[in-house]
A and B are shown apart, each in its own frame.
Chain A
Amino acid sequence: MSIVIVGAGPAGTRAAEVLVGAGLRPIVIDEAPDNGGRIYQRQPAGFRRGPRALYGFEAKKAQSVHGLFDRLRSSIDFRPRTLAWNLRPGLIDTICDGKASAVPFAQTILCTGAMDRVIPLPGWTLPGVFTLGGSQIALKAQGCAVGARVAFVGTGPLLYLVAYQYARAGAQIVSVLDTTPFTTKAAQAFGLMRGGATFAKGLYYIAWLRAHGIPVAEGVSALAVKGNGQAEKLSWRDAHGIRHEAAVDAVALGFGLKPEAQLADLAGVPFDFDPVQHNWVPRKDAAGRTSVEGVFLAGDGGGIQGADLAEAAGARAAWAVLASRGLTLDARAIARLDARLAASSAFRAALERAFPFPAKLAASMADDTVLCRCEAITAGELRAAANEALATLPPSEVNRAKALTRVGMGRCQGRVCGAAAAEVLAASLSCPVEHVGRLRGQPPVKPIPILPAEAA
């Protein structure tokens, strides 16, 4: 029976390496046309920029992961352009180029990655507003900036990294606006220093931006995008409460990352609210094992940990798979991985605390701000439902709110609005956000064409 790795990013690649080393031939599924995941996404054929231009300081790591994957290609069953849209016991439903196929597995390692965590702002659905991660992809995979005058808005390490990459590539940056005050970050300096080079790079990006005259403001609030049919102006309040407005034609928006954990959810893996990450994460042990037989997790899809640790976690989960099959283990390699994963937890926690999810910004969203962009539902509509039906008739949680308001019912299945919707709902009900739960995953995890059986 086969082993299926879902996701060919850093975690999936290292998992495949360990399995191939043990003489196995895993199936590796990825929705993208090539390997690398989002962080080490490869540019299309015919593009010529070198690794340094694409991945900056991470060029060596990217090359190492790509080189390894290329060497593994003949030893694995790689299925790119393939969406894993459902997970049933022992079976992953996939679709590739319109053809459906159910792939049986004895063990699966879900390396499904992450996406931007978003807080809706007034005007965020206007053309020109993109996620931070999306803005990075435009540059990395297409050689484009998302506009001619771009503002970077949100919080987290990615905010400064993508702004830096844009500036280096010759884009014009209007401003970098971080909702986290400087003091919040400074308070984590000791823990962050344990991150060594990662911390140093973060400081370097910020210093570089300032040194090149790019305005960087911390502790901003009251963010809004305005424009007639497209993003034209960005307004905000600085840390001293003074209002600012700047002409923009694009905004890159993101508040950290959240796991793409829908397949783990469909597998029946229980989730816990991680108060430090401020994310719901599927429950796993240090080796990536879950309580569901044959289902293992690695990388950001099992909780945000970054690309370096994703590599270690992918390898570690593969060893756990080998152990479950009763195969020979390399105790020293496993001990090294365990030590690396354990040593980094303090830094990851400090990083999350240095850039906390601004839950209040989400909870205090204006009533007329569109919360769910799929279905154009406002925060006020969710609050009205919370104050009426949800307050009087339990259960008062996000799935019922979804049934009543359609928030999270749209094509993205709440990927984009889910985190903020939970904050709005919890604030309305005056309860901690973990009490309103999380939007349950539903197959298909992304829209797929429905054809009559004879046509499929």
Chain B
Amino acid sequence: MRLRRLAEMDRPAVSFMLDGVPADALAGDTLLTAILAQDGYLRASEFGDGLRAGFCLMGACQDCWVTIDGGGRVRACTTAIEEGMRVARGRSQP
């Protein structure tokens, strides 16, 4: 799964680091959008039952947590991407 952009694609580009690798997003993206538009997951379940990519997108399920440098753990669905942000998805893909 990747999020598929259908509209609003003429926004300014934003560069960020995803797990130490340069990545691009658009201004106004949430972290969830920025990440899932290019790769299919946000975190790994702590209980070994696989990867997660968020669920509710409205700040209720708490299943989209990622880590940002200087900001700690944040909900990807309610945090806006910023230029130069360094985002880590907890555990790399098993």
Using a CB–CB cutoff of 8 Å, the interface residues on chain A facing chain B are 31-33, 38, 43-49, 53, 115-116, 125-131, 133-135, 137-139, 141-148, 169-171, 229-231, 249-250, 260, 370, 373-376, 410-412, 415-416, 446-447, 449
Q: Which residues of B contact A133 (CB under 8 A)?
A: 56-58
Q: Which residues of B contact A231 (CB under 8 A)?
A: 1
- A34 to nearest B CB, angstroms? 12
Task: State the CA gap A48–B7 with chains docked (Å).
Answer: 9
Q: Is residue B3 contacting chain A, with contact meaning CB distance below 8 A?
A: yes
- B63 to nearest A CB, angstroms? 6
B interface SS class: loop
Chain B residues with a Cβ closer than 8 Å to the other chain, count: 42
Task: State the CA gap A170–B28 with chains docked (Å).
Answer: 21
- A193 to nearest B CB, angstroms? 32
Is the pair A446, B59 in contact by a Cβ cutoff of 8 Å? yes
- A431 to nearest B CB, angstroms? 28
Q: Is residue B21 contacting chain A, with contact meaning CB distance below 8 A?
A: no
Binary A-proximity of B55-67 (CB < 8 A = 1, otherwise 0): 1111111110000
* Partner pick for A147 among B3, B8, B80, CB 8 A cutoff: B3
Using a CB–CB cutoff of 8 Å, the interface residues on chain B facing chain A are 1-9, 11-12, 27-30, 33, 37, 40-42, 45, 47-63, 72, 77-78, 80
Q: Which residues of A contact B40 (CB under 8 A)?
A: 127-128, 229-230
Q: Which residues of B contact A249 (CB under 8 A)?
A: 1-2
Is the pair B45, A376 in contact by a Cβ cutoff of 8 Å? yes
Using A47-B11, A125-B45, A142-B30 as known contacts, say yes or no to A374 and B62 having CB atoms under 8 A apart. Answer: yes
- A136 to nearest B CB, angstroms? 9
Of the A-B pairs whose beta carbons lie under 8 Å apart in the complex, a sample of 30, sorted by A's number, is A48-B8, A49-B7, A115-B56, A125-B50, A127-B42, A127-B51, A127-B53, A133-B56, A133-B57, A134-B58, A134-B77, A135-B57, A137-B58, A142-B29, A143-B9, A144-B5, A144-B37, A169-B7, A229-B50, A229-B51, A230-B1, A249-B1, A374-B62, A411-B62, A412-B60, A412-B61, A412-B62, A412-B63, A416-B61, A449-B72
